[in-house]
Amino acid sequence: MCGIVGYVGSKVPGSVLVEGLKRLEYRGYDSAGVAIFDNGGIKICRCEGKIADLEKRLVDEHFDGSIGIGHTRWATHGRPSETNAHPHYYEGIAVVHNGIIENYLELKTMMIEEGGVFSSETDSEVLSHLIARSIRKGLSFEDAVRESISMVRGSYAIAVLCEKDPTRIIAARNESPLILGVGENENYVASDIPAILSHTRKMLFLDDGEIAVLDRDAYRIQTLDGEAVEREPKHISWDPIMAEKGGYKHFMLKEIFEQPRAIIDTLRGRIVEDTGDVFLDGVTLDEETLKRINRIYVIACGTSYYAGLVGKFMIEELSHIPVEVDLASEFRYRDPLADENSLIVLISQSGETADTLAAMRQGREKGAKLLSICNVVESTLARDCDHVLYTHAGPEIGVASTKAFTCQMTALLLLAMYLGRTRGDLEADRAKELMQHVVQVPGYVEDVLERAEEIREIAEFYADAADFLYLGRGINYPIALEGALKLKEISYIHAEGYPAGEMKHGPIALIDEVMPVVTLVPRDSVYEKILSNIEEVKARKGQVIAVAEDDDREIAERADHIIKVPHADTILTPFILVIPLQLFAYYVADFKGTDVDQPRNLAKSVTVE
């Protein structure tokens, strides 16, 4: 999510670091910093804002060392500010970190009790403290890093400097990417290829549980247990633009493929797999208040609104609280019946959508409790609501929302389980069973992503169609809406989403031999009904593209094209069924040659009415 770059060699490290950080800046980071050796000690320079601001500050700084680490932050724990920016320094140790340390509060409390003084609100700061603590106990730099990371739970890619061992960088990874760049008498470490691509094309990719020691003229990789890892560098032939997109043609495609990781990050630290318990950091509604809530309003715009429609099914099923879902642009101008016993859940990727902010103010006037589901930390919506549940999708660059959507559904599912458990409507056994399925969702999504080529072929077949109809039922009706929205916004093809049962009340008139109908066919309680809807389309010579489960044999004789997906618990099917629709829209748009990442007339964040 954030960006890391580190350098050891004979160039001016400040320039190498700033240049590397600039290459990652297009993702819209909020703060940055570097740690560079000077006069035997580590000097830190950090600031809130753009890399250009950091660069200006560095003009007046002097460093005599030739080794340093840098970081651009995209806030997850703690608002964007200079003190929350990396590197974090403590007692001779400087650390940059990407990822989420799940047990940071526990570790922080332990070290405060031991006399440690913390200066930031981040989870990352525990790493500099832990490593310094191990060094105090007499461990070498390398062993101190090893001991410290064995104490943390969560994901990390780190690069560390140590004043007692001033010639090297130590780096380590677990579930967050980290790359070594090999040069002539110089070595690099980075979270992303573009950060170091102008210096070297010889790169090594660390695996989970590996530690790398980088000196100027050598590097070595070990496992956490100290076993040496032999790995040859790879030659990277990407051009700089391709590198920014991680080798994908568009950011949208990259972000579609990032979804398994993004869902894991949104679940991380919030669930207990063995019990089905859910903990929501940032939500401090006490049991008493939760039990008084008699209605939930879910408010959002666009794709976030469709996530809200899925959330209604989840919340009503698991917590039995009635839910109304409203478009923010409608809610703000009506006189809703919300009151102090209502919970208003406002969903927004950006947290800056004008209509959603206005709806929040309307809700506040009514005295309702306000909870936001946001992706951008410290956005206006996140700051101004009483409670916030962050999605950890990471920066979304493609204008068409993909990973933010699946993470919003993840957050809503967690909220639904949390409400259900706290109010007693969700039995412990069901919670436990459901959680065992929830943790499999990223794997299911991965599975669908592996079928991208088949989806691309189907998209090529239909790319010249002028109109599309998308049909779904129940919890997947909003997925039909989202599939149609994705297609129209990036390919400019007219598409409509409909609850399948409504087809005969109007849209059926549109069906003829040139009308493709994308139908969502999970094996749920309305499976037979949707098969009948497919028959109705076929009887009028429509072309059916069915998204159906792997072992569904009945669909074969009914549909013209089938996209197979794994089976899942009904409440989890939206996560799986939306992926082929995102890919389908992407490939159709790509065949048509549109500007996929920046479709005409659209803005990533709609900050005006």
Residue 450: CA atoms inside 13 Å, Cβ hemisphere, count?
A: 8
301 binds ligand F6R (CB under 6 A): yes
Catalytic residue among 2, 47, 301, 407: 2
Please report how close the Cβ of residue 357 comes to ligand F6R at its closest, in angstroms. Answer: 9
Give the range of 123-131, 178-186, 193-201, 346-354 binding ligand F6R by CB under 6 A.
346-354
Total residues found in the chain within this entry: 609
Region of 77-85, 117-125, 170-178, 350-358 interacting with ligand F6R (CB under 6 A): 350-358
Rounded CA gap, 128 and 25, in Å?
25
Does 391 help bind ligand F6R (rule: CB under 6 A)? no
Q: Among residues 4, 32, 397, 400, which is the contact residue for ligand F6R, using CB under 6 A?
A: 400
- CB-based contact 457:442 (threshold 8 Å): no
Distance CA 440, CA 192 (A): 27
Instruction: Report the residue number, 124 or 356, with the smaller CB distance to ligand F6R.
Output: 356
- Residue 181: which residues within 8 A CB-CB, separation 6 or more? 187, 188, 189, 190, 196, 199, 200, 202, 203
User: Taking CB positions, which residue lies at the least distance from ligand F6R?
Assistant: 302
Total number of residues binding ligand F6R (CB under 6 A)?
14
Q: Is 266 helix (H, G, I), strand (E, B) or coil?
A: helix
**Neighbouring C-beta atoms of residue 464, cutoff 10 Å:** 11
302 in contact with ligand F6R (CB under 6 A) = yes
Which H or E run includes 142?
helix 141-151
289 binds ligand F6R (CB under 6 A): no
Per DSSP, 507 falls in state G
Residue type, 512: D
Pick the closer one to ligand F6R by CB: 191 or 304: 304
Q: Which of 141, 147, 69, 156 is nearest to 104 (CA)?
A: 156
For ligand F6R, the closer CB: 350 or 422: 350
Q: Is 489 in the site for ligand F6R (CB under 6 A)?
A: yes
Return the number of the residue (93 or 459) whose C-beta is nearest ligand F6R.
459
Instruction: Give the Cα separation of 78 and 244 in Å (integer).
Output: 26
Apex CA 197: angle with CA 194 and CA 202, to 5°? Answer: 125
Give min distance, CB of 155 to ligand F6R, in A: 24
Note whether 329 binds ligand F6R by CB under 6 A. no
How many angstroms separate the CA atoms of 568 and 409, rounded? 15
Which range of residues in 274-282, 347-355, 431-439, 546-554 is near ligand F6R by CB under 6 A? 347-355
Comparing CB distances to ligand F6R, the nearer of 342 and 350 is 350
Please identify, using beta-carbon distances, which residue of 284 and 601 lies nearer to ligand F6R. 601
**Where does this chain touch ligand F6R (CB under 6 A) — which range of 159-167, 295-303, 500-508, 578-586?**
295-303
Hey, is 195 helix, strand or coil? helix
User: In the complex, what is the shortest distance from the CB of residue 51 to ligand F6R, in angstroms, rounded to a whole number?
Assistant: 24
Work out how close the CB of 398 gets to ligand F6R at its nearest, in angstroms, rounded to a whole number.
Answer: 8
- Cα of 240 vs its chain's centroid, Å: 23
Q: Do 409 and 259 touch, CB atoms closer than 8 A?
A: no
Closer to ligand F6R by Cβ: residue 31 or 303: 303
One of 81, 128, 349, 372 touching ligand F6R (CB under 6 A) = 349
Q: CA 45, 50, 51, 57 torsion: positive or negative?
A: negative
Q: Per rule CB under 6 A, is residue 303 in the interface with ligand F6R? A: yes
When asked if residue 350 is in the footprint of ligand F6R (CB under 6 A), the reply is yes
Helices 477-491, 573-592: axis angle to 10 degrees equals 20
Which of 128, 304, 372, 533 binds ligand F6R (CB under 6 A)? It is: 304
Nearer to ligand F6R (CB atom), residue 482 or residue 552:
482
What is the tally of helices (H) and strands (E) in the chain?
20, 27
Tell me the CA distances in angstroms from 88 to 332, 334, 420, 439, one per residue in order. 43, 48, 39, 32
Distance (Å, rounded) from C-alpha 49 to C-alpha 32?
A: 7
Question: For this structure, is 604 an active site residue?
Answer: yes
Shortest distance in whole angstroms from residue 583 CB to ligand F6R: 14
Q: Which stretch binds ligand F6R (CB under 6 A): 17-25, 118-126, 160-168, 298-306?
A: 298-306
Cα separation, 9 vs 448, in Å, equals: 43
Q: Which residues bind ligand F6R (CB under 6 A)?
A: 301-304, 348-350, 353, 356, 400-401, 489, 605-606
Q: Would you please indicate which residues are annotated as catalytic (active-site) residues?
A: 2, 604
